[in-house]
Amino acid sequence: MAQQTQVEPIPPGRYWITVLGRDNMADFDAWIRDMHGAVQIEASSLDQEANPPVQFIIFRVPEGRMPFLNPHQFGFPSFAPPNVTSIQDVEQSPVVPGPIDRLEQAAGKAGELASEAVLLVLAVLLLSNR
């Protein structure tokens, strides 16, 4: 998902953002109140078990409104297509290695073993010349 790097002001559209830490969450909530309708919350969830706590927010900036956001404190929001309804929709799943990945890993291990074998042969040759 693409990040919106224009945040001064944020153009109209639908976005998601994760806010980390209680202080930032309180500041983000205050920012929403200060925007007086320029930011409309569609969904929000809170994970208090995470360290730091994480708040996931889907928000909309309506046409004709262009709020400013502090990206240094909150980060950049990401565009939220209609299929994004929760944090599970934007979390990245672990990469499952495919056949090419496994071949590259095997080649890397074979190269390491070949290097070790060359070093072993050199050590044996050096010791036998004594």
CA nearest to 18, candidates 60, 42, 46, 40: 46
Confidence of residue 5 (pLDDT cuts 50, 70, 90): low
Task: Give the pair of three-digit tokens for residue 38.
Answer: 């320029």
Give per-residue pLDDT as tens, 92-115.
755 556 666 666 676 677 677 777
What is the domain extent for residue 22? 13-89
**Same domain, residue pair 72 and 121:** no
Do the Cβ atoms of 12 and 55 come closer than 8 Å?
Answer: no
CA nearest to 57, candidates 33, 34, 82, 80: 80
**Same domain, residue pair 78 and 110:** no
**Same domain, residue pair 51 and 112:** no
Residue 2 forms part of a structural domain: no
pLDDT, residue 122, reads 73
* Burial of 93 from C-beta contacts in 10 A (0-12 / 13-18 / 19+): exposed
Q: How many domains does the chain have?
A: 2
Lowest mean pLDDT among 64-73, 94-103, 112-121: 94-103
Mean pLDDT across the stretch 1-20?
Answer: 82
**Same domain, residue pair 30 and 74:** yes
pTM: 0.66
Task: Give the pair of three-digit tokens for residue 115.
Answer: 């290097």
Res 4 pLDDT > 70:
no
**Same domain, residue pair 20 and 45:** yes
